[in-house]
Structure 1
C-alpha cells in the first residue's frame, strides 16, 4: 500500500503537489510590496469595491492555499491593515489602512507583485520616523536627504544644496557663486560673470553630478531598438541601433541632452528626480481594468450605465456619459464608445476618444499618444499600439509596455496582444514582441489563429520568410477570422521575397476588396490586390484596376501611390510592347511620376525603343534646377541627337563634363562629318572599335592598319601600298604572273571588306 502511494505521488503533476502560495512582503519607501509565488502561466484578476478599502485577488485555479504567516514580518500596518484568505480558498482579501492605490503585475512568470501606495503622499505615514528623540545619525541623514532633494529657484536655479568644495566629486566649479567681486576674492576664486552660459552649464553639471553620486537622480533613458543586419527599413541617418549617426556618442549623451530641454522634476514623495522631458498621459486615466468590476455581466452593466446617461428632460449627464463610454471601452467597443461620446456637446473625452480608435486597431489622427513610447507608465503601451505599421526606429520602455499590457482585462489582452507584438517588432524590439505572444499563448492555453498571425508577422519583420510563409499559407486558406490579415501579410511576404503571388491569394484579395469596400480595411485590400497583380507581371490588369478604381472610398493618395508603383514595375520588368502601350497612355494623360528617377527611367526606355520624341516629352517633366536635372540634360541631348538636331544637342552639352558627355560629343562630331575629332574622343574613352571606324571614315589608313589583321586593316594596308612597278617597254612572263597574283590578293581583300561591312536586314 505504501509503495502504491509513492507511485501515485510520483505520477501526480507538480502543480497538484504544490497547493500553497507563499506570500512575501517588504517596504520600499513610497509603497509596500507583496509578492505571491504562483505557478507559471496562472491567470489572475484584481477586484476592488470603489466605496470600500478592500481589494480581492482571485487566482484562476481551484484548491490553492496561501501562506500568510510572514506577511507582517517586514512591513507595518500603515498601508495594509490585514490580509486573509477568502472562503473559496483561491482568493485573498486585502484590507487597506489608507486611501491607497494597488498596482499588480507579473514578474519573471512566477511572481505576482502587488504594490500598495497612498493616493495622497501627504497622508502616507509609512515613511515617517517613529516617535522619540532622533539619533544624531538620523538627524544628519534627514538633513542630507532634504538638501539633496531640494529644487532651488532663487537667483541661480539648481538641484540639491548650494555648491561647496567636495574632493570626491569630479573637478567642476563647486564653490558658492560669489555675490560680488569682494566675495570672490575672499574665497580665492577667479571673478567671472555667472550670467554667462558656460557658468550656468557648469552649475547644472555640478548639480547633476552631486545628485547622481547620492543616488537621487534617474536618467530618462531606454534600451535601444534592434534591427536585423539585413533590414533595409532602417531610417536614413541612423545607425543599426536606431541612434542618429551624427552623434559621436549616440546613446546616453544624446538622450540626456534631449531631456534637459524639458526637465521634469517628479518627486512624488520619493525624493527622486527624473531628468528627461517626456509628456506622458497619467496612469489614472488609463486604468481600464477598474472601469468595470470583474465578473460583471456585460449586458447588465451596459444597460444600467446607459440608462443613467439621460436625465430629466433628456438632458445628458456628462459624468454618466463618461462612465458609459469607459464601460464600452472596457469591453473593447471602440466605435460604440465614440458614438456615445459624440452625444456630448462639451469638449473633452480626448483620452477616451483616442483609446476608442486604438481599440478598433485604427490610427488616432490627432496623435494624442504620439511620442510617449518611452514613458514609464501605461501611456507607453498605447503609444506603441498607436505606432504606424511601417517599421521604424523608436525608443520604447518595454518594461512599462509589458506592465501596461498585464494590467488590461484578459479579453483586451487577447484583442490587442497580436497588434502590440506587431508594433513592437516593427519598432525594433523583437524580444518584447515575442514575450507578448508567449504571455498571450499561456493565458489562452494554446496558440490561437491570432497568436499564429502575430508570430508570422514577427518572422516577417525579422527576415525569416520561410517560417512566415508556412504559417500564413495555413491561416489564409482556413477561412477563419484571421484569414483577411493573413492574406495581406502573405502578399507583403511575396513582395519582400520578390516572388509571384499564388493565384488563389490574388482571387481572395480581390474578393475581400469587394467585401470591405465601405470599411477602413477596403483600401488595404485594394492595394494588396494591385500589388499581387504587379508581382505576377499582370501589368495590363493592374493598370486597368487602377483606372477603374472606385474613388468614393479610395483616397487620392492611395491611388496615386499605387499608380506610381505600377509605373515603376512596368519600366523595370515589362516587355517593350507592354511598356509602350502603358507608358504612352500615361504620357497622353499627363501623368507625372512622383520620383524623378522614374521619369528618367521611362525616357531611357523610350530612347532604347527608338522614340526620341516621346523621350523629350517625358524629360520635359523634370525642371533643370532639380537634382535629376544634369542627367535629364544628357538624355535630352541623346534624344536630339537621334532626331538629327545636332546643334541643339551640342548647345545643351556646353559646360558639361564626364564620359557620357564626351561620348555624345564624339557621336555628334561623327555624324557632322568631323571623323578625325570623333576618333580622338573615342580613343580617349577606350572605344577602340568606334575609334577605328572614325579613322576609316576620315581616311587615316595608318591608324586603321596598325595592330590588327582584320578586313579593315588589310584594306587600309592595301590602300597605303605603292602600285606595282611594271616595265611596260619590256614585258615579261614573270611580271605578268606577279601582276595576276597581286590582282587575286586585292580582289580577296576587297571581297573580305565587303563581307565585313555588309548591311544586314536586322
Structure 2
C-alpha cells in the first residue's frame, strides 16, 4: 500500500460523521468570577451570544451529551443563576443582576466561561443576540421543499443511494423572525426547557474586521524571524506527515456526486453538525503538528505522552509513574522482593539502574518509603524518574513530600498524579480546579494496605479544606476493604466527619471507642477530644489531662507530643488552675509560643482571682524574659491592672506594644491616662469613638474635671438612669432630678420649688412665721427620708 492510499484512507476516515460524545462540565468559584468549563475529547465549534434571560451557548455538534445537573455543586447562584439545555447542543445561561460572561478556549476542546460582576466590556463579541436553533413548533406548517430538476449528467437514484449511506433528508424548518413561544416539542422530562419568547433578527449581525495591533504585527514578524533562524540551524524540523489534499479529479467527482444530494447546510443540520469551512481554516485544531520542548523536558522524561494538560496548561505526569499495582502492590512481599533484588545487578555485577528503580518501586508499593529512599541513595542512581520516586517514598514514609513543588498544578490532571499531588503538601490549597474523579479513582486503585495507611491522612486534609464530600468518599473507599480497613485512624476520621456535620454526640462515641481500645490511635483521639471540648467551652477532666501529660512525655520531641502538651496546658487554664498552666509553660520552654501564651494571659485577666493574677504579674509569667504575647492579651492584663490601681505596672505591660489605633487599645490607654491623672489625654484617646463604653469613660472624665452635668448627660446616653439621677443630684440639676430621681428626691425638689423662703426685708407677721415653720418641718421630713435611704450619696 503506497502513501497515496494511506492519505486517501485518512481523508475518508476524517469525513465520517462525529459520534455523540459526553461533555465533561466542571464549575468552580473564584473571588472575582464564577467559572464554567466544557471539556471534550476533540475540538468543537461553538457560538456564544445574548439570549432572552442572559446568554445562549450553541455547539455546532448537536449530538454532544450535556449534563448540567452538577453545575451548582461548586458555585453559588449569584452570577450564574440557572443553566439548562433548551435544545440539542443549545445551553441557556441565566445570569444575575449586573453580570456578564467572558468566553475563551484554554486549548482546543477546553471551553472556559467566566461569569463576572459588572457591565460587559465595550465591543464584547458575546453581547450580540444569538439566534435560537430550537425545533420548529408542531403547529407551524412547514412548506414542502422545492424539487430540484434532475440534470442529465446526474447519477441515477440507485447510484446515489449506493454512494451515500446517509438517509434522505427532511425539508428544512422555516425560521420566523419572531418566536412567540408556542407549544414546543422538547421533552421536559429529558432536562430540556424551551427558551423564553424572544425577538430574533433575520440576518446575522455584521462584525467589522478587527484592526491588527501594531504590537501583534511586530511580534509576528519577530517570531517568523526566530523560526527561520531555528530552522536554518537545524533546531526545527517540518511536519511532513500531514494528510495531503485530494486530487482535483477526485474532488471534481465528489463534487458532481454531491450536486444531486440535498443542500450541505441541510445535511449538516440533520446530522447534528454545523457547516465548517475546512478549506478556509488552515489552523490545526489539535496542534499535533507542533511540539515545544525544552532541555528540562528532555531530561525529565516523566510527562504524559498524550499531551494531557492541567487546567493551567501544565503537562501532566504520566500514569506509568504512579502504577503502584503494576509495581507489585498486590503480590506477596517475599516473592516480590526476591525478584526485584535479583535484578539489582547486571551480568557484570554492576548496579543496573532499571533494577534499582524496580526495587525502589516495589518498596513504595509495599509502603516502605524509608527503604526505597535508602536504595536510591546507596546506589546513587540518577535517572529522570528518580526525583519523583524520592518524593513518593517521602509521602509514604512521612505523609508529605520533601519537595512538593514537583507536583504543582498536578491536582487538576485527569491522571493518577492528582492523588499524589494532594498527598504532597500538608495543607491543600485552592480546590476549585482539582480533579475529584481522577483522585478518587486513583485512590481506589491503591492496594488495601496503602489505602489504610494514606486514606485517613488524606481525608483529614480535605476536611481541613472544607470538602466533606471528598473526605467521606475517601473514608468509604477505605471502609470497603472490610475489617482490615477499620483501623483506629479511620475511626478518628469518621469522628472528624461527624464533627464537621455538627453531630457532636456521635463524634464523642467514636472517640470514646478509640480511647477504650488503648491502641496506637489513643494519642490522636485524646487530642481531638480535648481540643473539641475546649472549642465548645468545656474544661477537660483531671484524668484526661493526666493521660495527655503522660502520652506527651512518651512522645516528647514529636509533633504529636507537642500537641498533647499544648492541649494539657490549655486544659489546666480552662479549669482555672493557672499556677499549674504557667508552671508547665515555663518548664517546657513554651513561653515563646505567642498563641498559647496569649490565650493563657487572656483567660487569667478575665477569670483569674486577684491573688492568682497578681502572682503571675509580679512573680510568674510576666517576669519571663522570653514571654511572647499578642496585643489582645497585653491590653487585657493592663486594663485589669488599671482597674486594680496599679497604673505603673500597667504602663510597663503596654510598653512593648506599638500603638495600633484600634478602638480597644484607645479605650485601655484612655483609662490608664485617666488613672494617672491626665484627663485631657484620656479624652483625646477616645475622640471619635461612639460606644457605650466610651460614653461611660467620658462621664468619668467629665466628673474628674468637675463638669457633673455633662457627666450626667453621658450616663444618660449609656442608658444608666440610676447613675444619671445620682450625678444630676450631685450637680444640683433640679430639673434632671425631678424627671429622673426617685420619689423622695422628686418630693424634695417639689417642696423646695413650691415653698420659697419668706422675704426677710418685709415686716414679719404671725402668718408668715407659721408658714415658714410648716415649710421647714416638711423640708426636714424630706431630708430625713433622703438620708435614711440606703446607698444615698452625699
How many angstroms apart in 1 are the aligned matches of 2:634 and 2:744? 43
Q: Counterpart of 1:373 in 2: which secondary structure?
A: helix
Q: Give me the CA root mean square deviation.
A: 5.2
SS of the equivalent of 1:292 reads helix
Closer, same or farther: CA 389–297 of 1 in aligned 2, 3 Å: same
**1:668-747 matches, cutoff 5 A:** 668-683=701-716, 687-706=720-739, 708-720=741-753, 721-723=755-757, 741-747=774-780
Tell me how far apart the structure 1 counterparts of residues 504 and 387 of structure 2 sit (CA, whole Å): 40
Q: Which position in structure 2 is the counterpart of 1:522? A: 561
8 A Cα contact 2:310 2:316, kept in partner: no
Q: Output the CA distance in 1 between the equivalents of 2:341 and 2:747.
A: 103
Report the CA distance shift for 1:460/1:608 in structure 2 as closer, same or farther (over 3 A).
same
Whole-angstrom distance in 2 between the partners of 1:438 and 1:499: 31
Distance across 2 between alignment mates of 1:211 and 1:616? 75
Query: Which residue pairs with 1:406 in the alignment?
Result: 444
Q: What per-residue deviation string (whole Å, max 9, x for no partner) do you get for residues 526-574 of structure 1?
A: 23333433444433322222211167xxxx98x4432233334434444
Q: Does 1:140 align with 2:15?
A: yes
How far did 1:659 drift?
5.7
Structure 2 matches for 1:253-332, cutoff 5 A?
A: 256=112, 276-278=312-314, 280-292=316-328, 294-298=330-334, 301-302=336-337, 305=340, 319-332=354-367
Out of 661, 664, 671, the residue aligned to residue 638 of structure 1 is 671
Q: 1:719 to 1:318 in 2, by over 3 A?
A: farther
1:53-132 alignment, distance < 5 Å: none
Instruction: Check the 8 A contact 2:399/2:423 in 1, yes or no.
Output: no
Q: 1:362 matched to which residue of 2?
A: 399
Query: What's the TM-score once normalised by structure 1's chain length?
Result: 0.59
* Alignment partner, residue 561 of structure 1: 595
1:470 to 509, 518, 543: 509
- Pair 1:497–1:329, CA change in 2 (3 A): same
Deviation digits for residues 287-337 of structure 1, max 9, x if unmatched? Answer: 122223743443x65466568768999986655443333222221122333
Alpha-carbon distance in structure 1 between the residues aligned to 2:478 and 2:675:
66
Q: What corresponds to 1:570 in structure 2?
A: 604
Pairwise CA distance, 1:597 = 3.4
Kindly provide the CA deviation profile for residues 141-184 of structure 1, in whole angstroms up to 9, marking residues without a partner as x: 49999xxxxxxxxxxxxx99xx99x9x84469xxxxxxxxxxxx
3-state secondary structure, aligned to 2:391:
helix
3-state SS of 1:360 partner: helix
- How many residue pairs get aligned? The number is 552
Aligned to 2:174: none
| Aligned pairs for 1:523-562 within 5 A | 523-549=562-588, 559-562=593-596
Tell me how far apart the structure 2 counterparts of residues 481 and 640 of structure 1 sit (CA, whole Å): 56
Secondary structure of residue in 2 paired with 1:443: coil
- d(CA) in 2 for partners of 1:488, 1:130: 73
Counterparts of 1:471 and 1:712, CA distance in 2? 65
Where does 1:331-730 land on structure 2 (aligned, <5 Å)?
331-343=366-378, 349-368=386-405, 369-388=407-426, 395-445=433-483, 447-549=486-588, 559-582=593-616, 585-589=620-624, 595-624=630-659, 626=660, 628-653=661-686, 660-683=693-716, 687-706=720-739, 708-720=741-753, 721-723=755-757
Q: 1:266 to 1:407 in 2, by over 3 A?
A: farther
1:140/1:390 Cα in 2 relative to 1: closer, same or farther (>3 Å)? closer
CA distance in 2 between counterparts of 1:352 and 1:247 reads 50
Tell me if structure 2 keeps the 8 A contact 1:619–1:632: no
Q: For residues 400 and 594 of structure 1, do their structure 2 counterparts lie closer, same or farther at Cα, with a shift above 3 Å needed?
A: farther
Contact 1:603 1:616 in 2 (8 A): yes
The answer for the alignment partner of 2:120 in structure 1 is: none
Secondary structure of the structure 1 residue equivalent to 2:328: coil
Mapped to 2, the partners of 1:275 and 1:391 lie a distance apart of 15
Q: Which runs of 5+ in 1 are unaligned?
A: 1-127, 146-158, 173-204, 228-244
Rounded to whole Å, the distance in 1 between the matches of 2:479 and 2:344 is 38
Query: C-alpha distance in 2, partners of 1:226/1:502?
Result: 43
Counterpart secondary structure, 2:756: coil
